[in-house]
Amino acid sequence: MAMWRMAMPNRVIAHIRHHVRFYVSLLVGIAIWRFAGDTFPRPLHISIAADGAYSLYLLLMFTNMIPLMPEHLRRRANYEDEGIGIITVITVAAIVLSVGNIFVILNAGTPPAGLHIILALIGVLLGWLTLHVVMAAHYIHVFYTEVRGGETRRDTGGLDFPGTKEPTYWEFIYHSFVIGMTAQTSDTQVTSTRMRRITLGHSMLSFFYNTVLIALAVNIVVGLSK
């Protein structure tokens, strides 16, 4: 029991370090929400906070991942992955905060201000971008996780990018955003069962998110035409 209690703080610290970009962005978003609440009305300050959190997270992800070559991605595969739990949180937050905020604005009983709608739409876009950037990092994690076979080690793989033996961050961004826009793959071949499960889940999530966006667009047009 004593050893378990001693290990708990270490696990918490390791968890925070592993997801430091997520928690830093979350804290910044909460801080913006807190201080903007004294200046802006409720729908607007929620949009500002969500936009700030997503923008910071995307900035941290791109500045850390894009310059990395395959050998660096291989070494940092486990560290850079946010995990399914964080991906789920980001997805739900993007829908509830951004999409829900627009419905609140449109159904407030008064004509919505253009700035309110623009900031809320930016939040929807940033949430969509964040989801697929995080999924790209998850594909990297799965692909570059090493598998031991006797004295040799190899990448887990699972994706075949034509003309590329060691894919960089851009290949995974390409794969993730193609799924995000079309809910299907393009010229990239999925070659493992695990990667097929992830791709299927990503495709279903993208289809659901995109359907919500279409419904949102219709609702905005109807709301503004009244």
pLDDT, average across residues 147-168: 77
| 16-20, 120-124, 158-162: range with highest mean pLDDT | 158-162
What is the pLDDT confidence band of residue 20, given thresholds at 50, 70 and 90?
A: confident
What residue has token string 């270490």? Answer: 10
Write out the E strands in the chain.
Answer: 146-149, 152-155, 159-160, 189-190
197 phi and psi, to 5 degrees? -65, -45
What percentage of residues in the chain have a pLDDT greater than 90? 15
Q: Token pair of 138, please?
A: 């998850």
More confident of the two residues 63 and 8: 63
Structure tokens, 166: 């060691």
**What is the full DSSP assignment across 51-62?**
HHHHHHHHHHHH
Q: What average pLDDT does this structure show over 45-55?
A: 86
The residue-averaged pLDDT of 58-70 equals 79
Q: What is the mean pLDDT of residues 4-22?
A: 63
Q: 3 pLDDT band (50/70/90 cuts)?
A: very low
Residue 4 confidence (pLDDT): 45
Taking only Cα atoms into account, the Rg of the chain, rounded to an integer number of angstroms, comes to 20
Among 172, 164, 163, CA closest to 140: 172
pLDDT over threshold 60, residue 51: yes
Q: What's residue 226's pLDDT?
A: 64
Specify the pairing of strand 159-160 against strand 189-190: antiparallel
Nearest to 205 by CA among 170, 186, 169, 180: 180
* CA 157 – CA 142 distance, rounded (Å): 7
Q: Residue ranges of the domains in the chain?
A: 10-225
The contacts of residue 61 (CB under 8 Å, 6+ apart) are 21, 133, 134, 137
Q: Which tens digits make up the pLDDT trace of 183-222?
A: 888 889 999 999 999 999 999 988 988 888 888 777 777 7
Residue 155's DSSP bridge partners are 146
